[in-house]
Structure 1
């Protein structure tokens, strides 16, 4: 069964087009001439053609049925050649054979229904799987993707949609790799690889600081540097502990004998000699050594300090720096302070050689700085390896990130994977069952085709069409088996001449429809007689008089009746018409059936040369002034007798005289009694002469003081003209 039709970009259908959704078993589409009905039926017919993007049809359960379409193209395809292709129907079967076929068809229907149930179960599982996937997508996205996105967004490239991200997780989960890096390692590598394309970095040079260590460890700083002890003045100097003061004072002596401190004449030649002997060569050598160490210490410490300052400056401006700048700067500041303190200590030693000093050790601090440089160089080496193999390193990092994530969230991925696996087993089982049902269905269908093939013939269709033609007064031609081509028909006049090119428009329209109705029951292909089908009927009453209009509607009502009872091969009907009366007749329901799940109604309209469609669900939108007349008649107790008579006259005028083209005498002569003929004549007189017969109307009304007699005659008019079903339809509550 067709569930949805979409049509666009053709004729009066624009690029938006129309959509007929929620089509039911029986569908009525009303549209005035030129509104796009024929385009719709033609496009449905051609929707099977490859490349036809104008029309798209969706089928229930994706089960495509045979589509039979009655429209102008059907007439052109079947009645413009010399012969007409035969229609195979079941006509020569015995009652027993028919029962066997019917039983097999019931079994086939049961198999189909079982298959549909299995397919429904299959679709339910698929829906459950889809729901599970959707929930997993949301869960994985919120708990995993968003958590790792800030650092690993580049690793997720190509998987930045919920569905693709979930699928990638499952793919990586199946790999089950054991060795994974830590989150810190992955984050650090990501900062290198996922930023700008990394460039080669020079390693930091570890400076030589052995000379500074040697100076720091020199024992001279712990030595008391004093003069010779066997000199006359040595006892006094040592006793007063003025070695450094005396040594300092020597620099103030001049050639004069006057003491620069007390200004007395105390500087004798002997005193000068004692001073020179006291501060002998050994003393001079030691003090000179301290002076030298002082200079070297300043030189080496300044050089090392400058190097470290350069490192700090360069790495501060280096966006790719691997140096722990903060820790390095703290230790450098501490080292610099130690150097400054030691220089002051050495300076003090120079001034006071006899003092013992101990230089502050910079070993730990300097070693910390060297360690930081070494660690930095290790990172630089790793960085440069990445640079040398950037593509490979990037791919490895991405793989490592996915591996880490899967291992970290193994539990929730495993639970989801297990549920999917369990569902998959159910799907596999149902697939096998559906496959078996399809096989059984195919075998039984072939058996039915063989049974029907043995009892099918093209002759029953000929007999049925000719009987209908005779029944409704088409006596001047008939359809016969072709003498020129087997299993084909010809149209023939009573005198034996071909009627193919001489039929009137009404005759060719009627027989075309009768031929179509035989196709509804059978097929032009012998083994497709029992095939299920969908009917599309487009304005079948064009060029037909009122009598034939009701024949057509009656035949289609039979199809509708069978569809409602789920009898026969026709599973769906779509009727398109511009005729209000035909629409009303064909869509008539006896009022005892609920049509909400069976019927649907649509109206095609053209506005500014663009076709659009409106859906009315199960409510029939065709309500005319004619229908309102019947409504007024049903509520006659609220109006006067004269109004009721006038309503009946207008109904007769619309239905019999305008639509049906009945003559007055034809209607009057249907009544056997004079009394009823007189009442009928009074109704018709008002129609013909208007106000000129008003007096007669009043006379009749006075003679029959109740409208009941009028109503009786009114009903008999429909009954005697074989249109009682229309009366019943319009008078129903």
Structure 2
């Protein structure tokens, strides 16, 4: 049996307050705001943080305190909004009924949203259908404009002239070009008329322009610095002069056989050329140097032949279609 209830620092009990009794049945009454609800809430939920300074004396640990107050009603009774005054008892039933009620509200909300979306869908679908029909009519105008009579482009519509839907599906299925076409409908008509029907003209064959010189241009030797034998005694002098070709050209004016005395230098016109100097100059232009020079000469000859194989511009200018395609030709030729 509870003999004493201690309340402190909670709600209206700002200072320690005790309620003592030796009776099994006790009646507590008072004005609003005097702490009756706080007392019952404490007995109902003693473990809550706000009641940490409160306690109960005389209570058997095996006994359960049952409190019937407003909190108990809210937790254990469910009152439907449309049936005021009718309750469902038990905490579990209340939770279930609350979930069902909330679910019904959510369903009603979703149904309203669905109805709104359905109306929007019907309006949007109607707009799409109207736009699609307008597009089909626009595409069908291609058929009426370019078929029948002497319309030379009619052959492009074979198989699609009998159905607006088929022509529309065919047109929208075509891959879209990355760039705007450069030729107009009239240009296409003229091109077609020039190769078909009574107006067909035969033009002379135009040779293909090709330039395979990239193979030569990409040869590794063109990234190499060609120098002579750096172990030669005259290599440093030739480097300082900065013109090994000039030195090599002068070799043809020097004796090919050993000399008895100094010869006249083809560069300075003084008798400074000795056998030793002659051998040093020849050793500078060694086999590796000569091999690189031979490669360059061979590539030059090959490159020259490729240049000469390019058809003359005059060959193209004599063609009747040259003026029409002059711009494209010049771009191709410059590449």
Q: What band does the TM-score fall into relative to the shorter chain?
A: 0.3 to 0.5
Q: Which has the higher contact order (CA 8 A, sep 6+)?
A: 1
Which protein shows a greater Rg? 1
The TM-score normalised by the length of structure 1 is: 0.20
Q: TM-score, normalised by structure 2?
A: 0.40
Q: Relative to total residues, which structure has the larger helix share, 1 or 2? A: 1
